[in-house]
Structure 1
Amino acid sequence: MARWLKIPSKQKRQMEDVPEPYEIVCVCGVGLSGYRRKTPYRHACQQCDEIYFILPRNSYPAPKAKKKKKQLPTQKQVSEYFLNTSFVTQLREKRKQKQASRKQQDVRPEVAASPKLSPFELPTPSSRLITPFRAVLSGIVLIIGLTGYGIIHSRNLERATDTLKTATEAGETFLKQGDLIAANSAYLEAFEALEILGRTDQRANEIRQTSRELQSITSQAVSPVFEIAEEAASQIKQSDVDSWAALFDVRYADTWMIFETTLTPVAVESEAEPPRFRLNLPIILDEYQLNLELTAPSFSEYLKQHPGQPLIFAAQIDSFHQDAEQPGTGIILLNGKTAFLWSHLNLYEQLGIEFDEFHNRDQIEGILNQQTQYLGMSK
C-alpha cells in the first residue's frame, strides 16, 4: 500500500512539470508567493523574518468522479404515463359522452314538468338544516347552558336561604320594637326569598301572611272610608263623576284598606261575570251614599263554608264608579285578587283597635283563629 502511494500514475508524472503556484500573507502584511517544489521547504519573510512551511506539490492522482445511479421513475410519473396512453384517453372520452347523454335525459323531463316559481315564493334550501356537525354543536351548547343554569340556580338558592334566615330574624326584632316600616322591608325580602326557594310549608306560609299584613298596614289609604265618602260627595257636586273618578285613581288606587264586617253576595247579570260581594258597611250622607264591593275574592271558599259570619280581611282599592241604577250612590271596587284573610291578632292591634264590651277581644281572636286554620297555619 505504501509502495503504491510512492508511485504516481503516468498522467500524474506528466503533470509534474506544470508549475503549481502558492500565495500567502505574512502576519506583518507582506505577501509571500512562489512555486511549490517536489519536497517541502521553508519560506522566510524578508521584512519580519517569519518562517512559513510550504507543502510540496501533490503527487497523488485526483479522485475519479462517481457515476450517477440511474433513477427509477416515481409512481406519479408511471401513473401519468399510463393515463396519457391512447387506450385510457379513448375510455375517458367514451365515459364523458355517456355522462353527457344521461344528464340531457335527466334534465329534459324536469324542465318540462317543473312549474315556474312565483316571485313571492322562496326556493327550496339546497343544504340540510340539521347536519351531524350542527347536532353535535347544539348538544354541546345545550350541555354548557344547562350546566351554567344549574350553577347559577344553586347559588341563588344558597343566597335565598341565607336571606330568608337573616330577614326573618330582623323582621321579628323590628316587630318587637314596634318599627312596622322596617319590619315590612325585612319581611318583603323574606317573601322574595321564599318565592325563589319555592317553599310551601307551614312556616313559609306564616312568613308570607305576616308580610302581607305588614304591607297592608304600611300602605293604607291616606284617608279613612268616611272621609273618602265626604270627599266624593263634594267633588261630584263641584265637577262631575268622571273627574272625581280620575282624582280617585290618583289618590287611592292600589292602596290598602282593612275591614271587619260581613259580606253579602251581589246579583250579577250573567254567569260569565265574576262573583261580587257587598260589604255590610254602607256610608250614608245627607245626599250621597257610598258602598264598597269586593270582586272575586281569593277566599270565596271560606265565604261558602261560613256564610253570614263576620270576617277580617284586607284588600287593595281598585276603582270608583257611579251606580247606574241609583244616581246618588257611588261604589268603591276592591281588588279581590289581592284580598286576603287576616291572621295575627298582634298586628291587628297595631291598627289602633280598641276592645270593649261591644267589641270583644275574645270574639275577634276566635275569628282570627278560624281564619288561620282555613289558611293552613296552626295557631
Structure 2
Amino acid sequence: MRLPDIPERHRRLTRTIAAAGTGALALVRRRDFAPEHESTARLGNALASAGLTWITGTQAFLGRAGDEFDLGAVFGPFGKNAGEPVRYSTADEHFDENATARSQAFLNATTAAASGVISWSLWGSTQKITEAIDARLPAGMGRGLSAVASGSLVALSAAVIDKLESWACEDREQLNYGQVEIDLPDHIRACILRLLSQPHPMSGQAAEAARAQFDSARFFVGVTYPSALHSGTDPVTVNSGQLAHLFDDEDITSIDVYPSAASPKAVPATQTYPVIGVRTKESQPTMELRLEFIDGYLSRLEFSERDAEPIPLLSDDLPADSGIGTLHPDGVDVGAEGVGYWSSLDITETEDEFVLLSEWPDAADLTFRTDRE
C-alpha cells in the first residue's frame, strides 16, 4: 500500500501547507513540554517532518508546470469561432505511466521515512542549537525568525522549481501526437454525401446503411502539438482558433469515423466502399476519396494518391515446366512485364502528396468510379 500522489491541480494548496507546516514545526521547543511528554513530542516532530517531506515530493509540489499554462495566453482567442470547444486526447503507447508513478511514489515515501528517522535522531542536538540561539535574542524572536526562515525557504524552493521548469519548457520544442475531435468541414461533408448518392453497384441497402452511419458519426483526426499547448496525458479542451492553428501545417489524409452503434451495419462487413471519388488536376497526382468499413461500420475517410493498379497473378501465366516442388531462386516471372513474386525486393521511396484538411476536395471537383466485381 502506498500513499496516493496529490494531483498537480492542487499545487497551490499543497505548497501553502508545506510552507506553513514547515514554519510551524520551527516553533516547537522541547521546553514547551513536560519531561514525561518529551518522547511524545519527539515522535510527533519526526512524523510531522516525514509528512512535510512527503508533501514536498508529490506531483502537486514538484510536477510539471506545463500543464498549468493558460492556452488563451499561448495562442490568443482569434477567429470568429474563438471559444468554441473541441477535444483531443493524448497517449503514449510506449510509456508506462503507472509504473513511473509507482516508482516516484516509492522514492518519495522512502525519502519521507528517512527524514522522519533523521529528525528523531537529531532531536536533542537541534533543540540544543535552537535554545542557544533563543538565549541570545529577545524573547520570542528566535522562534519567529526560525519559522519565517523555514517557511520562506520552502516557498522560495517552489518558486525556483517553477522558474527552472519554465526555462526547460522554453528550451525544448517537444511535439506530441494525439487525436482531436472535429466538426467535419462542410466541403468534406458535401463530398461524402455526393459519393453516397451515387448508385451502389450491388446493394441499395448497403448505401442506405452507409448514409445512416455517416449521419450519426463523430469524426477524429491525428495531430501533432507542442508541449507548450498541453504537456499532460488527460484530455483537454481547446477552442476552434487553437485547433485551426494546429491544422496550419498538418498532413491529413485520413479521418477516423465513429458512427452510432444503433445505425444499421453495411454488408460486406469489411470492405472499401465500391464507389470511389476521383480528383484529377493537371500536373498533380490523381487523388482518391475512399470509405473504409470494419465489421459493418464506417471507420475511416481516406483521401490519398491513387495506387497503381495491381497486376493479377494467374496460374495460366506460370512457366510450363514448373510443378510441385519446383524452386525458383529468382522468383516467378508473371505477366508481360515480368512482375511477380520475388525472393528479394527493391524498395524505393516515394514522396506522397502533402494534404491539408482545407485542401480536401470540393464536391464539384470529383468524378466517380465504381468497382463492379
**Same fold (TM > 0.5):** no
Bigger Cα Rg: 1
